[in-house]
Amino acid sequence: MQIAKKITLLFAILSAIIISLLSGFVWYFANDFAFEDFYKRLEARVNIAAQIRLYKDGNNEAYAKMRNQYLERLPSEKEFIIEAGKTQIHVDRELPKSFYNRINAGFMARYRVDNHFYAGKFFKNSQKGYVVIVSANDPFGFRELKDLQRILIIGFFLSVILSFVVGWKFSNYMLVPLRNIIKSVKKIKAENLHLRLDVKKGSDEMSELAQTFNNMLNRLETAFETQNNFISNASHELRTPLTIISGEVELAMKAKDDAEKQHLALSKIKDESERLEHILTSLLGLAQSGFNGKNQPREEVRMDELLWEIKHSVNQVHPDSLIEIDFSTLPEDEEQLTLKVNKNLIKLAITNIVSNACKYSNNHPVGINLESKANILSITVSDKGIGIPQSDIQHIFEPFFRASNTNEFKGYGVGLPLSLNIIRLHRGSIGIKSQEGVGTEIKVILPISI
């Protein structure tokens, strides 16, 4: 069953329950009010009948005349004066014992059968005690209640039908954004993963759903790009060392009697094999750092402590480098320095950035600044090295791309793309600012609550 139908059905059922309760409430109090008025009229006649029939004084004739002239006679009105203590009580119908028990207790008693009403009370004159009962019909009030009952029943069914129609329109209206999201998602295929859903301003569930889809598409696009880059670049990057190795093997085989040429060929093969190993390791790392973090366990990591580990690791590879860590902007709250991350991946990403800064800075100082504010932790790595040409900055995160001024330095163009994938895996971002001949500054931004 579609959600719109479920919402409509549920809305109609809830409306039916609420309307039935309201109708019962109206019926109960209307019934009670209508009969209360008629009972009071009967009770007034009980008192008047007792005054006229049981108490002999000079006002009785005046009471009788006033009743006949000014007091409307009720339909089928009857009076019954019964001497107290008699076992046989003659009334037009048998009344329940509770009716007489209430009279004997000294209260005004009431009883109704359909639209025929009874009211009675005990009176005592100077001689004996009597029970005075007055009965009458109330066809008008009863008819009004029947009309009200019919109106409530008809109104109930009309209201349920109306609530069903309104619920159908309302559910369709509320689900329009969801249908638009479904249409937009259906248009997105592997060929156009760059498309995104329109996210409306606000914090409702539809906006959150659209943003969630966009986040998922970001991960999918990154995974597809990683896979495509791996396939396209692997064939290109692996071909060169393999070709060189193949040529050197042939050269070594021909130079059977020349030990020097064989040694040079074998040295070349060894270098290219090492290069091939580095390329394969980088390619596998790049492929495995896509946007799927299922098999990447996370743990609580103090980022200031991690930076010291990174400094030690980079110094082992670049012993002449001078790395300075600035902790002057650290917050007092240690929780602002702790992230739940995959330690090995984050360490690899930042190590790549720091290592590049040391490699391209020609032993100039490399600064690392750690700052935490507004639930955002940022790590800034700055150097005074060769910098990056402005025309190359936009391509710096493309796999195997190397800036035009890095020919003198050994590298494969995989470190920064690998770092970017890892940072994006942790819902962070990387910013870069560089000027050729002046230096480069790279800022890693990570959310504290991942």
pTM check: above 0.85: no
pLDDT higher than threshold 70 for residue 289: no
CA 204-206-210 angle, 5° bins? 120
Look at residue 430 in the predicted model and tell me its pLDDT: 93
Dump the DSSP string for 167-193. Answer: HHHHHHHHTHHHHHHHHHHHH--GGGT
What would the pLDDT profile of 4-22 be if each residue is shown by its tens digit? 778 888 888 888 888 888 8
pLDDT higher than threshold 90 for residue 366: yes
Q: Which CATH architecture has domain 299-447?
A: 2-Layer Sandwich (3.30)
Q: Domain boundaries in the chain? A: 3-160, 190-292, 299-447
**Amino acid type, 257:** D
Distance CA 391, CA 400 (A): 16
Look at residue 308 in the predicted model and tell me its pLDDT: 92
Mean pLDDT, rounded, of the chain: 81
What would the pLDDT profile of 63-87 be if each residue is shown by its tens digit? 677 666 667 778 888 888 888 777 5
Banded model confidence at residue 56, pLDDT cuts 50, 70, 90: confident
| Contact status, residue 333 vs residue 356, Cβ threshold 8 Å | no
Residue 297 phi/psi, 5-degree rounding, is -65, 150
What would the pLDDT profile of 183-200 be if each residue is shown by its tens digit? 888 887 766 777 777 777
CA 31-34-40 angle, 5° bins? 130
Distance CA 349, CA 307 (A): 12
Multiple choice CATH, 190-292, 2.40.30, 3.30.2250, 1.10.10, 1.10.287: 1.10.287
Dump the DSSP string for 32-71. Answer: HHHHHHHHHHHHHHHHHHHHHHH--STTHHHHHHHHHHHS
Q: Is 189 exposed, middle or buried (0-12, 13-18, 19+ CB in 10 A)?
A: exposed
Distance CA 348, CA 2 (A): 48
Look at residue 293 in the predicted model and tell me its pLDDT: 45
What would the pLDDT profile of 298-356 be if each residue is shown by its tens digit? 889 999 999 999 998 888 878 888 999 998 888 878 788 889 888 878 888 898 899 88
| Contact status, residue 111 vs residue 135, Cβ threshold 8 Å | no
